[in-house]
A and B are shown apart, each in its own frame.
Chain A
Amino acid sequence: MTGREKIMGRIREALTVPAPHPGAHDAHGSQAPHTSFKGRPVHVARSWMPPGGDTFEEQVVRFRAASTELKTDFRFVGSRDEAFAELARIRDTEGWKSVATHRAELPSAAAASLGLPVIHTDEGYDVDALESCDVGVSGCDVLVAQTGTVVVTNRSAGGRALSVLPPHHVVVATRDQLVRDLTAAFARVQETYGARYPSMVSFITGPSRTGDIERILVLGAHGPKKLTVLCW
């Protein structure tokens, strides 16, 4: 018998006796009716979770509020040119000397507009070179209003390391990429990729952080200390 067969055998044996329905022990009050999350319209499940906003405007407000709390630098501007101008301003403030990106249209154009040496990750890259870049510019799949999250995959963001190794991560996004909540985000990811998912799908919510020292928030523990989201 293989390891799999042994464990599966034990599982099947164990499950021959049924277990009580969850939440059955609630002695009083708070018991929600036995309605299953599964098989119910998505908008009902949504009704329990924190809100993401019904309209585009509400969603922008929500994303902006979340970003402020997370210390994500969120800039919602009128056009691509404005966005690239913002990026140049950040370059000057931060003193960037080198940038890494990937060959998708928007991030590539954004990086090129900076007039700095550029590394592209798409055909492979030298890790030390990537490590010494000041900023990684990437695209994304969706922005999530409910949580202030940026969803990337290794396909939409130039690999696994680009969005996490350089100390500053810049995301370029267009307004049609803003969705209401995590349910919508997962649906969008599933629609986009079908069954051939990229091997990494990452929900990034703010810059890297830790509270491990006396529960005091410190940014830039291992991942980027700064996260900028440019959206137009």
Chain B
Amino acid sequence: MTTHVQDFLAQARVVTRDLRHRGLIQTALRKYETARDRKKAAFNDWQSARQAAAETKWDAINHLDTYLAEFADKMEARGTQIHWAGNAAEAREIILGIIRSKGARSIIKSKAMTAEEIHLNDAMEKAGYEVVESDLGEFIVQLRHEPPYHIVFPAMHLTRDDINELFQKELGSASTREPEELTMIARRALRRKYITADVGITGANFAIAETGMISITENEGNARLTAALPKTLITLVGIEKVLPKLEDLALFLPMLATAGAGQTLTGYNTMYGGPRQPGECDGPEEYHVVLLDNRRTELLADPEQRDALHCIRCGACLNVCPIFKNVGGHTYGTTYSGPVGSVITPHLRGLQDWKHLSGSSSLCGACTEACPVKIDLHHHLLQNRRNAAVGEPSFFERLAYRLFAFVINRPALYRFAKEAGRLTEPLQKLIRDTPLDPARAWTGTRDLPPMPEQSFKEWWEERR
């Protein structure tokens, strides 16, 4: 067992016992579900919209070379510097290089899961730079020195009291339980940071090939400010974020908002086509876009699971996943959690080390149903399991299935096993939920059903 699995199981044990924590998440996600259902109903035909989104992304990903080239060329033509990062280390190096070359000292960031993925903040802080997260949720978890809990709602696991305590401790603010006042405390704290930051770093939701634009979706306006005021702007974006045409956003922006947050449209959807152009009165003098591979091309090379790259990071699959609801976002121990994280992490970080994320699912399929771009998520979890078993089969598990097959394929043996089960039932009752109980994984929390005197097959036999 790798330590990732051990950590996962340990964390899962803790959170599943924490009714308060589970209650908090479930309340938050119930609110989301109500809002989402209302906004879905506003669509004339949500299912056709999903199919259109799936096909558009299929086109984008299956012609990625064409569209990515078009995107890069068009952006470069208007003065953006495009960088190509093969992996996390290269991406960090590129970004630190830009920051160093500008003699920058302070950096303001808007939300970017890719930055989490490459552990950018850590690297920048180690290199001596002040990095401030401007998104309220990210700001909060940054102060707590913990990773975001959810790809869209980083502080979902915290109450207003947790945040109040945090702000008092880290910002010296006056005590308040009001979300409005707490937000204003953060707003005031960040105001100066926008104005004085030397470098702004953003993520991206989409990269539009047709017009050479980066599209950023947000509610707070912090990315708008990050992209307006600092002299140097950097956007880190996964290569899979490509969309062919500007008009595709007319489909994707509402679907992202509806599936991701139960909104008609997110507060600010902004397309950036370059640094400050001649005649423009503000904006960064330099704009750098760092394209990140980091093993996405490996996922691309798997035709069975290639559609996992269609993901628009809306978080809908996390929101409906009963595993996520009961273990929480931190238990996954990796950047991308929930169903999509469980599908792609084995590809991005190693199958054998991360197969347990694909294993810890009941394959209920709620994720696949919720996905606005129709990724076959739960079947991909199954495929990861198959690939993992082929790569590194477990001797004992395989033996168990072989033994089972041996017995079940021989009616006489199967009958014997049933009889043995019935006869030893009193003994089983004695050792139930003790270290001797082989069914302890079950009997620890659940009763076993009693074995009836006569099985169905025996009844069928008898009546013939």
Contact = CB atoms under 8 A, between A and B. Distances in A.
Interface of A: 2-4, 6-8, 10-15, 17-23, 25-26, 30-32, 34-38, 42, 45, 47-51, 66, 69, 102, 121-125, 127-128, 131, 147-149, 154-155, 158-161, 164-165, 181-183, 185-187, 189-190, 197-216, 218, 220-224
Contacts, number: 307
A69 to B, nearest CB: 8
A213 B182 contact: yes
Contacts of B184: 220
A221 B183 contact: yes
B52 interface: yes
B282 A124 contact: yes
Nearest to A218: B183
Interface of B: 28, 31-32, 42-59, 61-65, 68-69, 72, 78, 82-86, 90, 134-137, 140, 153-156, 158-160, 163, 179-180, 182-184, 186-187, 190-191, 194-195, 211, 213, 219-222, 224-225, 227-229, 239, 244-251, 253-254, 261, 264-277, 280-283, 287, 291, 293, 297-298, 300-301, 303-304, 306-307, 310, 368, 373-374, 376, 379
B304 to A, nearest CB: 8
A2 B140 CA distance: 39
Interface SS majority for chain A: loop
Nearest to A42: B247
B195 A127 contact: yes
Contacts of B47: 30, 32
Nearest to B223: A222
B191 A131 contact: yes
Contacts of A49: 43-44, 49, 250-251, 254
Contacts of A15: 62-65, 300
A186 to B, nearest CB: 5
Given A12-B65, A203-B270, A222 B134 contact: yes
Contact of A199 (B58, B247, B277): B277
Contact of B280 (A45, A183, A199, A215): A199
Contacts of B228: 159-161, 164-165, 200
Given A154-B282, A200-B272, A8 B65 contact: yes
Contacts of B82: 4
Nearest to B226: A222
A160 B179 contact: no
A52 to B, nearest CB: 11
26 contacts: A4-B84, A10-B300, A10-B301, A11-B239, A15-B63, A19-B303, A30-B47, A36-B52, A36-B55, A37-B52, A37-B56, A124-B281, A125-B282, A131-B191, A158-B281, A161-B282, A182-B250, A201-B271, A205-B267, A208-B267, A210-B220, A213-B183, A221-B183, A222-B136, A223-B220, A224-B221
A22 B283 contact: no
Contacts of B54: 22-23
Given A19-B307, A197-B211, A221-B222, A212 B265 contact: no
Given A121-B282, A124-B282, A158-B281, A199 B376 contact: no
Contacts of B304: 19
Given A206-B267, A221-B136, A11 B64 contact: yes
Given A48-B44, A181-B250, A17 B179 contact: no
